[in-house]
Amino acid sequence: MKIEEDKEIICGINIVEAVLNSRPKSAKVLFILDSKSNSRVKNISSKAQSCGVESTLKTKDFFSTYCKDQNHQGLALLCDKRLEENESLLDKLLNKESLLLLILDHMTDPQNVGACLRSAAAANVDAVIVPKNRSCHLSPTVRKVSSGGSELVPFVVVTNLVRTIKKMKLSGVNIVGAEKTGNEDYKDIAFGKKNALVIGSEDKGLKKLTSENCDNLIRIDLPGNVESLNASVACGILLFEFVRKI
């Protein structure tokens, strides 16, 4: 089966369900493993039918080919690719009275980016922002790991991250960077109505220029013997601290 450049096959119950709920017009064909049958699969199949989406049974060989190395759970969907957004969307968001943004500063691991997207969707983040170069974008792995989060949160790619941060500050956005050597405990920080959390790369943390342009640098104190948290774990903790306080 030939897949057009603007289409993709996404695999797994959560992300298939998210696409059918959030953008059903982009869905083309639902593939169901011929030996898979449970109430959730039946519900998703019924949802696809109500949206005018064709459903077809496929063997394990099909899923081994098109969902290789993914936990497909017996479901796959051919759909239009969820497009990455450009900076024009961010300009519109900056006009909002309240705002919560997540900035991933040159994060390259698709597992971490996907996990951050999942937390962002759960925390009702307005957009996730990443730099164009030396950064992981919306790959199939990212979409899968996000468990549908990639379908719910705009993914904005910017040319120059520091320039974007400076623009955000001019619009009243408080920029809060996460660093293990941050000078403020995350539980002590006061948030405004418009905030952006910045999470650095897995190995190097925040870039020097990014750090210098943050309004606050916060840390998570760890009582155990581990030096630092995984980037996506720290992201989840901090996003829900924002949600709790704002």
Instruction: Tell me if the domain spanning 7-80 has CATH number 3.30.1330.30.
Output: yes
Q: Is 145 exposed, middle or buried (0-12, 13-18, 19+ CB in 10 A)?
A: buried
Q: What is the pLDDT of residue 77?
A: 92
Please list, residue by residue across 27-43, b when 16 or more beta carbons sit within 10 angstroms of its beta carbon and e when fewer do: bebbbbbeebeeeebee
Report angle CA 108, 197, 95 to the nearest 5 degrees. 115
Q: What is residue 168's predicted lDDT score, i.e. its pLDDT? A: 95
Nearest CA to 44 out of 8, 70, 76, 68 is that of: 76
Note the pLDDT tens digit of each residue in 72-117: 889 999 988 777 778 888 888 999 989 999 999 999 999 999 999 9
Q: How far is the C-alpha of 193 from the C-alpha of 96, rounded, in Å?
A: 10
Q: What string of pLDDT tens digits covers the 246 residues of the chain?
A: 888 877 888 888 888 888 898 789 989 999 999 887 788 888 999 999 999 999 999 999 999 998 877 778 899 999 887 777 788 888 889 999 899 999 999 999 999 999 999 999 889 899 999 999 888 888 878 887 887 778 788 899 999 999 999 999 999 999 999 988 888 888 888 888 899 999 998 778 899 999 999 999 998 888 777 777 788 898 999 999 888 877
Mean pLDDT taken over the chain: 88
Provide the β-strand partners of residue 130: 157
Q: Can you give the pLDDT at residue 141?
A: 82
As a whole number of angstroms, the longest Cα–Cα distance in the chain is: 56
* Domain 87-245: top CATH class: alpha beta
Q: What is the pLDDT of residue 32?
A: 94
Question: Would the CATH topology of 7-80 be identical to that of 87-245?
Answer: no
**Could you state, in order of their start, the residue ranges of all structural domains in the chain?**
7-80, 87-245
